[in-house]
Structure formats: C-alpha cells, structure tokens
Structure 1
Amino acid sequence: MKKIFFKISTFCMALLVFVSSLSFTIESHYCGDILVDTSMFGKVESCGMEVKQKPSSKECDITKKNCCSDKQLVLEGQDTLKISFDKLEKEQQFFIAVFFHTYNNLFEVSEEVIPSFNNYPLPIIVRHIYKLDEAYLI
C-alpha cells in the first residue's frame, strides 16, 4: 500500500512540474464582438469577412474599416524550477533541515518489539493452585 501511494504521489508531482513548465498560446478570432474560432495549436480560421488590402494607388482611396480582429493569449511556463539553497537565510536552512528530519522520523515504524516483562523476576510458586482447584465429574 505504501509503495502504491509513493508511486502515485511521485507521478502526480512529476505531472505538476511538467504542466507548470509548459507554455502555450491560445488564438481567438472575433468578428465584431462575436467569437468565431479558438485554437490552441494552429492558426484560427477566419470568418471570411476580412477586408482585402488592395495595392494602394497614388490617388485618393476610400477603404472600408475591418470588423474582424485576432487576439492571442500567451501562457508562459515557469523557467526556473530549482530554487538555489544558497539564497536561503541561515534560519530558513535550519528550519528546513529540522522539518525534514522530524517529518521523516514521524512515519518511521519500529518493527522490533521489546517485551516489558523481561525487567521483572518471575513470581515464586508456593503451591500448584491449578491442582487445588480441579473438579472431577464422577
């Protein structure tokens, strides 16, 4: 049971480290105020209503305003996972060492059973009481 719990907790901690260091991007395409498409791994599909940019000429042009917009949400993972032990103050280092030692010994089970009656002498047998209290059916 202890091995199973240990393996499950180890797997969960490894998964936590992996997810915390993972970074990804969420892209969204809005047409006006309406969300049209969302993508995590590829390009978003457009709604087909974007204004195509024509090559500009030197004459005066009237262009239509684009109603579509693309937004990106970048979730960056953690870069530094290891905290340097040198950055901790002396009291913090002492607390961590004492906490680890106490926590380790808290769950340590002693398998050696020491009987308490070895320290005392056996009582002196004066009479055999079991022979005096015997009852026989005839």
Structure 2
Amino acid sequence: MLKQVLHKLFSIAMALLLLLSTASFTVVKSFCGDVLIDTAVFQKAESCGMDMVIHTETTITKGCCKEEIEVVKGQEDLNLNTHKSIDFNQKLVLTSFVYTYLSLFESLPKQIISHKNYSPPNLIADIQVLDQVFLI
C-alpha cells in the first residue's frame, strides 16, 4: 500500500518538474518614475495613469511611466531519443538482453501424471505388525 502511494507521488512530482522546466512566462513590471506600481505575470500590468505623450513642434515628451518586461524561458531543446539515434553496439546489447530475459520464462512441457487418479486400497490392519516382519 505504502509502496503504491509513494510510486504515485513520485510520478506526479516528476510530471510537475517536467511541466515547470519546459514552461515559459513573462513578468511585466510597471514603474512611475522609480516607484514600482504593479507586477503581473499572466495579465497586463496596471499603469500609473500618466501615459500621455505631449507633442510640441520640436520635442516629444513622454510621461513618467515605463514598463519592464522580463521573459523567463523554459527549456526548449528536449532530447528525444529514437531508435535511429542508437548505434549498432547498443542495439546488439538491447536485443541480446531482451532475448535472454524472455527465454527465462519459457514454460516447461506438460507432464502427464499416470497415477493422478489412483486411490490406494483401504487398510484394515497393519500387515507388517500382524506378520511380525520388520526391516532392520
């Protein structure tokens, strides 16, 4: 019982580890000047409300808001081995292992037991004691 529960927990932990190592996400930080206003992981971060752009004849002045975008990339190059990537020596070892492992479980030929349904006669008296014949 405990072995099955531990096996299931270990399997779930390994699946979550694989999922988290391959997942990518983006963290967006919204600043107003040097003050952090909002941080968001899966949605758009709130701005400080001073996003207006002022156009004059010579300059363009932006508000004090700025956003930092940080991308956390997961593992993208998973190593998937196929039977084509195995060299000849590894194939030889694998086939010999499988052949010897499967030959361990060959069944024996069916044996016929001729005295299977034999029932011995009922003994009324012990004949050796009656005749006083004993093996010495």
Q: TM-score, normalised by structure 1?
A: 0.53
1:67 maps to a residue whose letter is C
Quote how far apart the aligned CAs of 1:43 are.
1.2
Q: Which runs of 4+ in 1 moved over 4 A?
A: 85-88
Distance in 2 between residues matched to 1:87 and 1:67, nearest whole Å: 59
Q: Where is the strand percentage greater, Structure 1 or Structure 2? A: 2
SS of aligned partner of 2:70: strand
Aligned to 2:36: 35
User: How big is each residue's C-alpha offset from its partner over 1:20-65, in whole Å with a ceiling of 9 and x where there is no partner?
Assistant: 11111011111111110111111111111123254x7xxx334434
Task: Give how far 1:83 is off.
Answer: 5.0
Q: 2:65 aligns with which of 63, 68, 73?
A: 68
Unaligned ranges ≥5, structure 2: 95-136
Corresponding position of 2:75: 78
2:129 is aligned to none
Deviations, residues 94-129 of structure 1 (Å, cap 9, x unaligned): xxx9xxxxxxxxxxxxxxxxxxxxxxxxxxxxxxxx
Identity of aligned residues (%): 36
Residue type of the alignment partner of 2:36? L
Q: Using the TM superposition, give the Cα deviation of residue 18 of structure 1 relative to its aligned residue in structure 2, in angstroms.
A: 0.6
TM-align CA RMSD: 2.6
Distance 2:66 2:86 in 1: 46
Report the 3-state secondary structure (helix = DSSP H, G, I; strand = E; otherwise coil) of the residue aligned with 1:64.
Answer: strand
Q: Distance between the aligned counterparts of 1:76 and 1:9, measured in 2?
A: 25
Number of equivalenced pairs: 87
Q: Deviations over 1:51-81 (max 9, x none)?
A: 3254x7xxx3344343221111111111133
Change (3 A) 1:61 1:18: same
Which structure is richer in relative contact order (CA contacts within 8 A, separation 6 or more)? 1
Residue of structure 2 in register with 1:47 after alignment: 48
